[in-house]
Structure 1
């Protein structure tokens, strides 16, 4: 089912079907046997936007797609790990707990990106979340880096539930190097997912005073820093391997809402890669947990 929303300034199309056009003070009236004068409706001046619905699969189809994605991840992402049942159950429990604390509701089959900021873990795990009582499924994961404690101006990556919303437009790395020759967000063209301003702790202060950071998911320098993934090292963002960055970008793992936005906004069409093959279980949510808490 598609829902039609008009652009700003237009009347709502929903609920007006079959209704007579509204009359306004000063509108032309009929007289002398002449029919009513046609008045251009705002909806004609501002065409409605037809937003496609989010993809929706039943549980069995979603599990089959998750199994296909997991196999592709093992093939395309070096060091991608599958998990034994006991560890998979732990990840699912921690993700569910964090979603509950954030009052987040899973209303369709979708992939969650779950990151454990525990300094001893530093791993991302992708989980198929299902609505209702359906059993969730772990696809697997790989090494990442989150915020480092004890280094000035480095923040702890905040725990919580963060949505890749079209209220913000992500971007791509330019591949420029800093004064130390480091490409901080990866090689040119790497995707940066912008999750907005978030409150977190200043990792260099014993008091853990709080401040806001711009939380992002991005790659890191492929020559000097990617090999160090798996330990806290970032200024607060989530650093991921380049191969995972490309995979997430091509398959739209966090881009369900961006795909909708691309249907009416050229900025999102320009950002999303050509030739992409978005999965029907694409999601929009990063869940950051701390298994040490």
Structure 2
């Protein structure tokens, strides 16, 4: 158990990541403090449901899949009795229902573990001339097989491979902010690199490295944070209107979308 002085020092250190986020991530959302607190409470409620309510001392990624939000937040707290504090937020794209093989992005708490080993994008084009995983070397955060809610036919649930990854930088990244994937979470390339370089959710990967394992998926120049975490949490705020701090992409971005763009996942 940390002393109050130690907890304050941990918080100051972790909150320095806000400066790196502002410097390194080019797609940022300026979330009002009231909403930052509200999402911190949503995060806590989701953790409570999984008996993880005492989680502290590590970064956690939170995603709101609401059609009117489509955002990712990074949170931290030093002690279980403290409120969650936001490090930064960015627009994302989650699962768009309505077509075959399109899932709603699953809700819940997902552990990022080497049991479902990450990999890196090859940067190649698919049949629709889209780089579905983004530029070469972008990291794909693999969360394994999960039960996904089908967004076609009569609904129900099927197994889907749940991942978080970058997307085509020219054609699809400008569309972040609306539902547009087959079920995965698409994120900006600079956010992908930020999470990767700082090891934001790499606690279990680092444990393997500390035990003497060599993992090709980890870059040798990474600077893993002392507060590396393990969890990605997905919620749905079900907001009825879009908040001003999470604008939808404009008409120019939508007009440039090629056929088959939503089949890239």
Whether these two folds match at TM > 0.5 is yes
Q: Confirm or deny: 8 A CA contact 2:77 2:85 kept in the other structure.
A: yes
Gaps of 5+ in 2: 240-265
2:168 match: 221
Moved runs in structure 1, 4+ residues, more than 6 A? none
| Range moving further from structure 2, 124-133 or 93-102 | 124-133
The alignment's TM-score, normalised by the length of structure 2, stands at 0.84
1:191 match: 139
2:194 match: 247
SS of equivalent residue, structure 2 residue 136: coil
Alignment deviations for residues 181-238 of structure 1 (CA, whole Å, 9 cap, x no partner): 1010111100011111111211123x32101111111000011100001100111111
2:228 match: 282
- Alignment counterpart, residue 234 of structure 1, candidates 178, 181, 186: 181
SS of equivalent residue, structure 1 residue 257: helix
How much does 1:136 deviate? Answer: 2.0
Counterpart Cα distance in 1 of 2:83 and 2:213: 38
- Alignment counterpart, residue 163 of structure 1, candidates 104, 111, 116: 111
Counterpart Cα distance in 2 of 1:165 and 1:176: 26
How much does 1:101 deviate? Answer: 1.4
Counterpart Cα distance in 2 of 1:284 and 1:132: 16
Q: Over aligned residue pairs, what C-alpha RMSD do you find? A: 1.7
* 1:1-293 pair list within 5 angstroms: 58-205=6-153, 207-264=154-211, 266-268=213-215, 270-292=216-238
Alignment deviations for residues 63-94 of structure 1 (CA, whole Å, 9 cap, x no partner): 21232111111111113134222111110111
Q: Confirm or deny: 8 A CA contact 2:53 2:80 kept in the other structure.
A: no
How much does 1:265 deviate? Answer: 5.8
Q: Confirm or deny: 8 A CA contact 1:112 1:127 kept in the other structure.
A: yes
How much does 1:247 deviate? Answer: 0.5
Q: Confirm or deny: 8 A CA contact 1:198 1:213 kept in the other structure.
A: yes
Q: Which has the higher contact order (CA 8 A, sep 6+)?
A: 2
Q: Confirm or deny: 8 A CA contact 1:58 1:109 kept in the other structure.
A: no
The alignment's TM-score, normalised by the length of structure 1, stands at 0.76
Gaps of 5+ in 1: 1-56
Aligned length: 235
Counterpart Cα distance in 2 of 1:224 and 1:170: 24
Q: Confirm or deny: 8 A CA contact 1:150 1:204 kept in the other structure.
A: yes
Counterpart Cα distance in 2 of 1:107 and 1:121: 25
Q: Confirm or deny: 8 A CA contact 1:122 1:232 kept in the other structure.
A: yes
Structure 1 residues 129 and 208: CA distance shift in structure 2, 3 A:
farther
